[in-house]
Amino acid sequence: MITRRNFTGLIGAAALSTASRPSMAQQTAPRRGGRVRVMLQETASSSLLDPTKVASWAVYFAYELIGARLVNVDSHLQPIPALAESWEAANGKVNDWIFRLRRGAEFHDGRSVTARDVIYTINRLRDPAAQSPLRVLVDHVSDIVAEDPQTIRFKLTRPDADFPLLLAQDRFHILPEGYSRFDKPLGAGAFIANGLDPAGVNTYRRNPNFWDGDKPYLDEVSFQGNQDPIARVSALLAGDVDAVQTISFALAKRVAAVTGLEVVSSPSGVHNVVAMHVDKAPFDHVEVREALKCLFDRSLLRDKLCAGQASIANDHPIPPFSPFYHSELPVRPYDPDRARTLLRQAGVDLGQLVLHASEAVTPNVAVDLAQMFADTARQAGVNVQARRDPVAGYWDNIWLKEPLMVGGWGTRYTPDAMLRVAYRSDAKWNETRWRRPEIDRMMDDALATTDLERRRLLYWGIQEAIHKEGGAAIPLFFNQLDAKASYVKGVAPSPLGALKGSAFSEIWLDREI
């Protein structure tokens, strides 16, 4: 068996190949049967599978195995049918949406999925007493009406052209009306569970009455969590598991060099933000903000920090794979001379800047990113101290509070889902305190129209404004890296990560069982 000790030594060996993307071509038709063993990036934070609660990635994974939403997304984050077979805006203002359920969809206990179940589920997320973190996403839903047992009408207080994608997001899984036993999870998803053991190995079995054709192909999915990245990959190398969720850029090189193993590299919207409070000196000077953005050597960060497994970002949060990405906005280069000129124009003495970062943000990335930025900034005469803060308490005591700190964000399904929570003037998580009412209005206008060209122009204008004036320095979008044995088939790159629980309805084993 490869142990953690000798695996660590292997990582230091020379001439490791670059991470690979598995071929998506399937030589044979999917085979039925078998179990895939998965090791997740963390253990479960709770035994309860309650979508209204803040949860760990392990709980999200379990949700995805047992649950089903009205809408799913494809690899381009476009909406595709799930429990809802179709949807349409009831008028041209997209503030009134009708969804039609597919017939024959059942919960694990045999009950049919109806409009009443949808209304119960969404109203539970909207209920102020539940204190759901998802409530902000549906605060514009004014009423939900069952037109008939298979048809649901959502009435909104404002237009929302992206509403179907909103219902495709994590934890919008439909529950049976009145259901409240979250220690005994019940859903309409591909796999059936008896519960969730946070510390142990969980095995979920195939739902024989799943609504999506002849899927899932697997008989069982078993999973456990482990926060140690080396231990996760060691388990894959030893054959103790068949797939590993989320591996580091450094470990991906080692995995890709092993015959019989593959790395699945998925371009994503995951990014770190070096956030500057624009209402605090010296960051209240737009010249200072731009100067610091000029001190990111983005290519160096991509190649050294991420082993090439990242996309260059341009100081706004919309990733290159988005249909609304501003492809004609020149990427800001590393330019110490311009930074010095801008600082002279600002006429301020920066002194020593303290940049807060923590492993709590993006493990194995955020702290190193802060240090590499400090190094390149010093080459331009800017004194930045990268301070490594403890994991415990970072989100409560540092993020949103310190005037210069590193934040982190996952992939969002739409530009609005990112902009509304972090760049709107009144956003709870506006980590830069950048407030522009005219930009808020552009966000609203973009969400209110179905004219794609108008939406593109509005989102391009928003990206230009954040790039030029905002307090967010965003150098990279990180690829999501998962790893698996070569006999695990049906795995495809996804901006949301290739090994999300819902992906396991597509996965099969190409070996004798």
Instruction: Render pLDDT for 109-132 as a digit per residue (tens, 0 to 9).
Output: 999 999 999 999 999 999 998 888
Query: What pLDDT is recorded for position 379?
Result: 87
Locus of tokens 């009145």: 178
- Region 449-456: mean pLDDT is 94
Residue 241 has a pLDDT of 98
Six-digit token string for 195? 């519960």
The pLDDT of residue 513? 58
Q: What is the mean pLDDT of residues 229-256?
A: 93
How would residue 385 be classed by pLDDT, with cut points 50, 70 and 90?
very high
Percent of the chain with pLDDT over 70: 94
Q: Could you give the maximum distance between any two Cα atoms of the chain, in Å?
A: 71
Nearest 10 degrees: Cα torsion 156, 161, 166, 167 = 70
Over range 159-188, report the average pLDDT: 92
**Residue 453, pLDDT above cutoff 90:** yes
What value does the mean pLDDT take over residues 476-497?
95
Tell me what the mean pLDDT of segment 274-287 comes to.
98
pLDDT surpasses 70 at 10: no
| Alpha carbon separation from 483 to 226, 260, 318, 385, 492 (Å, rounded) | 15, 11, 26, 35, 11
pLDDT range class, residue 5, cuts 50, 70, 90 = very low
Nearest CA-CA partner of 71 in 61, 59, 79: 79
Given this model, what pLDDT does residue 403 score?
98
Does position 330 have pLDDT exceeding 60, yes or no? Answer: yes
What was the pLDDT predicted at 198? 87
For every residue of 224-255, which 3-state class applies, written as one string? EECCCHHHHHHHHHCCCCCEECCCCHHHHHHH
Q: Write down the pLDDT at residue 137.
A: 84
Mean pLDDT of the region 424-451: 95
Find the mean pLDDT for residues 202-220: 96
Q: What is the pLDDT of residue 27?
A: 55
**pLDDT value at 337 more than 70:** yes
Burial of 449 (0-12, 13-18, 19+ CB in 10 A): middle
* Average per-residue pLDDT for the chain: 91
- pLDDT of 19 higher than 60: no
Q: Is the pLDDT of residue 13 over 70?
A: no
Query: Which of the pair, 5 or 147, is modelled with greater confidence?
Result: 147
Exposure on the CB side of residue 474, measured as CA atoms within 13 A: 31
pTM (two decimals): 0.86
